[in-house]
Amino acid sequence: MYRTILFVHSLLRWLVLISGAWNLLAGLAGVASKRPYVKADRVAGLAFMITIDVQFLLGLALYVALSPLTTLTIFPHFGAAMKDRVLRFWAVEHVTLMVLALTAAHVGNVLVKRASDPLLKHRRSFLWTLLALILLGAGIPWQILPYGRALFPW
Closest CA to 95 of 56, 128, 46, 53: 56
pLDDT at position 152: 81
Low-confidence ranges of the chain (pLDDT < 50): none
The model's pLDDT over 67-98, given as tens digits with 9 standing for 90+, comes to 999 999 999 999 999 999 999 999 999 999 99
Q: Could you give the CA distance from residue 5 to residue 69 in angstroms, rounded to a whole number? A: 14
pLDDT at position 33: 97
The model's pLDDT over 40-51, given as tens digits with 9 standing for 90+, comes to 999 999 999 999
Within 73-117, residue ranges assigned H as helices are 78-82, 85-88, 94-114
Contact between residue 139 and residue 78 where contact means Cβ atoms under 8 Å apart: no
